[in-house]
Amino acid sequence: MAQPQFLSVGEGARSRRIAVLTQPGKGPAVVWLGGFRSDMRATKAEALAGWAQAKGRHFIRFDYAGHGESGGDFAEWTLSDWLDDVLAVLVARVDGPAVLVGSSMGGWLALLATRRLREIAPERAPAGLVLIAPAVDFSEELMWAQMPEAIRRTILDDGVWLRPSDYSPEPTPITRALIEDGRNHLMFGQPIETGCPVHILQGMRDPDVPYGQALKLVEHLPHDPVVLTLVKDGDHRLSTPEDIGRLVAAVEGSAPAAV
């Protein structure tokens, strides 16, 4: 198993070391942005790593603070920290425009990173986005807005609620800091400008990010070329062999190899 390198991000109490795996190769860099409490060795990331190795493509993946091999306490971090992780990796490991492949929360982070780069470093703005069940504004729309009042009160009074997880035997801590920080990054309600092609892959049987969220995102991308692929029997993971084939095809279409 390939061993990661570590990148220092943040200062003072927010400093951390981010685990990064880099596969050198040709073409624009393809950068994997994983989901909420996922990691860079999950099924789809491994599949893309295999594709990149077979094709000789430049591929980068990493774990956010509190995720996977980056270590640390997951509950200490928020979307602002994870966005800083994304930007730090792009600045330190990528020359020029990359193709960002964002899964679930990674889709939201890909859009946030695109917006930030277009403002501060347009020469690094992404060449394309591939978004898998993009969970845009999830902390507000898919968490807080759906929570019963008793759970909201627990978060406000205790600072955290331990949500049972379908993907892990351990519950997921949903913190007051996560909810409040997420409100600083909400995107829906105004046009989203990426300046690049966007391909969205979305399962119609996704219990975590309903496919209506993908339709809503398309409506918020009025000026960009957008392809939306709806998988009728697809769940949130979209990790079947057929789903992986769709993902690889979308990435190849968004990141053609340099001639």
Nearest to 143 by CA among 208, 49, 89, 224: 208
Residue found by looking up tokens 């685990």 in the block? 19
Q: Is 104 a known active-site residue?
A: yes
Among 137, 206, 208, 243, the active-site one is: 206
- The residue whose two tokens read 């892990």 is 168
Both tokens of 20, joined, read 């990064």
Phi-psi region of 96 (alpha: psi -120 to 50; beta: other; left: phi over 0): left
The span from the CA of 21 to the CA of 6, in Å, is 9
Rg (CA), the chain: 17
Give catalytic status of residue 206 as yes or no.
Answer: yes
Q: Which of 103, 104, 139, 239 is catalytic?
A: 104
Phi/psi-derived region of residue 46, left when phi > 0, alpha when psi is between -120 and 50, beta in every other case: alpha
> Is 103 among the catalytic positions?
no
Sort 143 into a burial class: Cβ within 10 Å, 0-12 / 13-18 / 19+: buried
Among residues 39, 4, 8, the alpha carbon closest in space to that of 23 is found at 4
User: Of residues 236, 239, 243, 254, which has the active-site annotation?
Assistant: 236
Return the active site residues.
Answer: 104, 206, 236
